[in-house]
Amino acid sequence: MTEHIKIENDGGILILTMARPDKKNALTNAMYGALADAIQGAENDPAVRVVLIRGEGDMFTAGNDVGEFAAIATGQMQGERHVSRFLKSLAQSSRPLVAAVHGRAVGVGTTMLLHCDLVVLAENALLSTPFVNLALVPEAASSLLMPLRIGYARAFEMFALGEAVDAASALAWGIANRVVPLDRLDAEAKALAGRLARQPAGAVSTTKRLMRNPEMLMAQILAESERFAERLKTMEAREAFTAFAERRPPDFSKLAAT
C-alpha cells in the first residue's frame, strides 16, 4: 500500500485519489499497484458500482515518475512492474470508470482517460502525451484508442509533438463528456458517477462490454510494452531522462535517425 493513493467508497462510488501533490501526482510503481488492487478488487465487490479517479493538488497527474523510468532503464529498479497490472485493470474493468481531471494530465494521465467511460474536465485541464519527447512510445493501448477516438491527424500530432490539448479541444474532439468550472469539478463528476451508480449495474456493465474489447486492448498493450521496454534502454531515452533530472531541454541532434 502507499499513502499516495487515497481510497474511499461513497455510496457505491469508489473514489481513487492520486495524492502525491508535491510531485504533481507523478505515478510510482507503488501507486500503480494500489490503483490496480483497487480497480481489480472492485470487480468482486458488489458494493462498488462505479469507480471515480481524481487527483489532489493543482493537477490530475504529471504521468509516470520520470525518475523511475530512468532507474528501470539503468537496471537500478527491478521486480514486478505494477503498471502492467494497472493497465490490465483499466482494460478489463467491468465497472464504469469516471475521471475528474483538472490542470495537467500528462502521459498515462491522458491515456488512462481513453479507458474511462465518462470524462469530466475542469476548464483548466491540459492533456498531453509527450512519450516521444522522452524518446518513448505511446502505451495503455493509446496507439490504437487515440486515433480511433480523435482521428489519426490529431493523434499523431499529440504523440509526436507532445503539445498539450486544452479542455475545449478535448471536448470537441470527443476525449471528454463535459467541461466545468474548476470549483464545480468534484461535484459534477460525483453527480454523474452517482447517476451511473443508480442505473441497473448489469445493463451498464454489459453495455460497456459490448462497446469495449478487452482482448484486443490487451494485445495492443502487450505490443506497446515490448517497444516501450526497448525504447527505455536507448541513448535517446538516456538523454531525455538526464535532461529532465538536470532541468534542461534534451538535445537529440547528435543521435542518428534509425
Residues that bind ligand COA (CB under 6 A): 23-24, 26, 62-67, 104, 106-107, 130-131, 134
Beta-carbon contacts of 195 under 8 Å, excluding residues fewer than 6 positions away, are: none
- Residue 37 beta carbon to ligand COA: minimum distance, rounded to whole angstroms: 22
User: Between 16 and 126, whose beta carbon lies closer to ligand COA?
Assistant: 126
Tell the smallest beta-carbon distance from residue 143 to ligand COA (Å): 14
- CB of 96 or CB of 130, closer to ligand COA: 130
Q: Which is nearer to ligand COA, 50 or 113 (CB)?
A: 113
Copy the grid coordinates of residue 193. Answer: 458517477
Question: What whole-number distance in Å separates Cα of residue 233 and Cα of residue 36?
Answer: 26
Nearer of residues 62 and 158 to ligand COA, judged by Cβ: 62
b/e 166-176 (16+ beta carbons within 10 angstroms → b): ebeebbebebb
**CB 191 to ligand COA: min, Å:** 28
Nearer to ligand COA, 175 or 204 (CB): 175
Amino acid, res. 9: N
Contacts of 172 (CB under 8 A, 6+ apart): none
Q: Which is nearer to ligand COA, 26 or 122 (CB)?
A: 26
The Cα–Cα gap between 136 and 143 comes to 12
Instruction: Give the ranges where 100-184 is alpha helix by DSSP (H).
Output: 108-111, 142-150, 152-161, 167-172
Give CA separation, 168 vs 74, 121, 136, 234, in Å: 40, 9, 27, 36
Least distance in angstroms from the C-beta of 258 to ligand COA: 21
Q: What is the largest CA-CA distance in the chain?
A: 58
Residue 112 near residue 172 (C-beta atoms within 8 A): no
Residue nearest to ligand COA (CB): 107
User: Could you tell me the smallest distance in angstroms from the CB atom of residue 95 to ligand COA?
Assistant: 26
Q: CB 244 → ligand COA: shortest distance, Å?
A: 7
